[in-house]
Structure 1
Amino acid sequence: MPHARRIQPGPIRLSHWANVPLLAILAASGLQILAAYPMLGPQGVPYDWYPFQGTPPPAWSRLGGWLAGARHWHFAFGWFFVLNGLLYVAYLFASGEWRRRLFLPRRDARNALHMAAYYLRVRKEAPPQDPYNGLQRFAYTGTLALALVEVLSGLTLYKPVQLHWLTSLFGGYDPARSVHLLVLALLAFFTVGHVVLVLLHPRTLGEMVTGGKRHE
């Protein structure tokens, strides 16, 4: 089979596993940066909706030791995260994998609803998938969108004056800071859900390690 390829091609697997240490380092160093000023909102006018005003993240969850050290970790590995994401997206479109992996509403919306109903025990049988179902495609595509927002809000915090147009897009420095933390929480929530689904379907873990069987 001259055109046979694995379910999980090598570049996909490499990018997937590279994200594990990258996101862990970025999350821990970001929480250390937050600990330097554990408030959200303008000084003197904190946001009412944030329940942890003045409470720094626990020490075990932080990396960098102090503000400057955490910033060095965060910005250094942030660029590796951006590079990894760019290489992943470039491979998706260069190889045509985007057709199999990205959420296309006309193709995947109904399947995603059926899969959600199956997980909620409303539907008895799982809908078909090859190799992903619509709900998985929706989750993965949404994660790419969240990663883009996380990078853009991070750039806003990094250069709020030089990138004033981007700062304005987020509504200012303090809203961008809130968005950055909120998206971190959403990515963490996705990671937990991802792990749960892998435990429910352990075959997918083996495919992400070995690539799985070859197919047309």
Structure 2
Amino acid sequence: MQAAPETTRAAPVAPQSSHPAWLRLAHWLNALAVLVMVTSGWRIYNASPLYEFNFPTSITLGGWLGGALQWHFAAMWMLVVVSLFYVLFNLFSGRLSRRFFPVSPKGFVHDLWSALRGRLGHDDISHYNHVQRVAYLFVMLDITVLVISGLVLWKSVQFPLLRELLGGYDSARHVHFIAMSLLVAFIAVHLVMVALVPKTLLAMIVGHKERA
């Protein structure tokens, strides 16, 4: 009597993190940089208001114009360096195309409508739906506009081409303010979504393991 053939078991697939350490570090460093830049930027704005209002000093950073400028420029370099690392790593690793594309108007409308009705699934947080893809791509573009317009406001003479592309110094102030406002609006919506799906916050702190 022949022995039954031994059953070959497949080797277990090691879990992979959908939020690796480099991503979590970049996220929190950029979050800190944006917080410092926004609050110090509000203090800088108050020194020469663009519109008919000022920001309450209690939510601004720097205490005075000189201090606010120092905080703003320090955070600016952090934001630029970390954002460049994030974009380049995503680009050359192929993560940008895997996680953020494809996007389509039809997919965006479908996922947005599902989200508004509370029917958008969040079982696999490593998968970005169309709304998330559009939102994150928008933030990348918005931060780029913030940096470019900020360079014009900081060194207008040294960046004449950028100044002209933005329609002049005064126009650059409006572009910078609008880009800042859109970024703050994104952060507000982002925080609401985190409150609705708390496990996304935990994943961004300690990582989230998914089977490959």
TM range (shorter): 0.7 to 0.9
Shift of 1:13: 0.7
| Structure 1 unaligned spans of 5+ | 41-51
Equivalent residues of 2:100, 2:128 under 8 A apart:
no
Report matched runs for 1:39-50 at 5 Å. 40=50
Shift of 1:174: 0.7
1:201 counterpart = 2:169: no
Q: Computing the radius of gyration over CA atoms, which structure comes out larger, 1 or 2? A: 2
TM-score (norm 1): 0.85
- Supply the distance in 2 between the matched residues of 1:87 and 1:144 (Cα, whole angstroms): 12
Shift of 1:109: 3.6
- Supply the distance in 2 between the matched residues of 1:127 and 1:210 (Cα, whole angstroms): 22
- Supply the distance in 2 between the matched residues of 1:125 and 1:158 (Cα, whole angstroms): 45
Shift of 1:147: 0.4
1:117 — aligned with what?
Answer: 113
- Supply the distance in 2 between the matched residues of 1:26 and 1:180 (Cα, whole angstroms): 12
- Supply the distance in 2 between the matched residues of 1:125 and 1:192 (Cα, whole angstroms): 21
The number of aligned residues is: 199
- Supply the distance in 2 between the matched residues of 1:200 and 1:190 (Cα, whole angstroms): 15
Report matched runs for 1:53-202 at 5 Å. 53=52, 55-105=53-103, 108-121=104-117, 125-126=119-120, 131-202=127-198
Shift of 1:207: 1.3
2:8 — aligned with what?
Answer: none
Equivalent residues of 1:127, 1:133 under 8 A apart:
no
Identity %: 38
Report matched runs for 1:10-49 at 5 Å. 10-38=21-49, 40=50
* Matched position secondary structure for 1:104: coil
TM-score (norm 2): 0.86
Counterpart of 1:166 in structure 2: which amino acid? Answer: L
Q: Once structures 1 and 2 are overlaid, which stretch shifts more, 88-97 or 78-87?
A: 88-97
